[in-house]
Structure 1
Amino acid sequence: MPSPRATASALIDLFSEFNLSVKDLVALSGSHSIGNGRCFSIVFRLYNQSGTGRPDPVMEPKFREKLDKLCPIGGDGNVTGDLDSTPHVFDNQYFKDLVSGRGFLNSDQTLYSSNGTTREYVQQFSTDQEAFFKAFVEGMVKMGDLQSGRPGEIRRNCRIINSPPVEILMKS
């Protein structure tokens, strides 16, 4: 799992290690169209972006005000916020939010704010939901084909590998 502080270039490098393209990276990041993130993952963006002691300058001001209330300095880092403005619907709103400077995680917002090749795909997917859906399916198929030497798993907590199942022996 990439760090929520990751930059677009670091994400591109990470995905390329698995032979996943920039388009795959952006499309698969669209999985953040659903769900929540913890304040712990964004307080640096709100109060000390890149060690400046200031907030991330690309963050839309009203969105930042909302996040300041949700995640105040010294607040509970486990409080969660929506990853996009339609957190219960898998759609292209995530990309529209990035274009508007309302990405929750730095690793998400950097896909648009970096002005690189990731930005082109964010713009495309923000206006063409079908193109996003098609690219997402293609990226998921590629990820499913990756060979790690281990069977895949659906994690109970996305940050932690599931514990191995416990074998129960029955006495006879």
Structure 2
Amino acid sequence: MTFLAPLLRLPEKTLQVLGRAMREVEYVHSSGRGRNAHRLTHLEVARILIAVMVSESTTTGVERLPHFAALPLKAKSNQNTTFEVAFAHLLKRYAEGEARTWYVEIDIGMSEAKIGTQLWEEGFGHEEHVFGLDFDDEDFKLASDDYPLPYLCSIQRKSLIHGSTLKAISRRVFADGEVN
């Protein structure tokens, strides 16, 4: 995972610790070494990026990962997907040469994530997919002990990865259509 360090501008040590923690809880698989080493899947790279985005602490990032990865798509549509699955699909599209420039944003306090197109692109309409809890949904029932926004605080915290970085990650990790 240290190959992501220059792309994300993070210390290699941070990603080494994150990788170890994610392997321990089986969010990322590991097997073999060298040429026989496990190749990351699109879903595993999405999980790594989500963990990095939701906290500056590797331990906290891994603890928060299940919550943010499982955020459902808010749109009323036939799609029944989660944020991690949609993020993995986006990485796959970039690896396959997707022409549009997308961004990924997480609002930690509001437990909300967005995948959208850059607004300044010409020739394409703006598109945005929002993942989170839909408090207006008739099916949303809040149990008395549950608090739907576990990371809400007085300071708004957001994390964003621009399309150029997502493209660079996809090209580096999934070169030649094969997961490295």
Q: Which structure shows the higher strand fraction?
A: 2
Global fold match (TM > 0.5): no
Q: Which structure shows the higher helix fraction?
A: 1
Larger Rg belongs to: 1
Give the TM-score normalised by the residue count of structure 2. 0.23
Give the TM-score normalised by the residue count of structure 1. 0.24
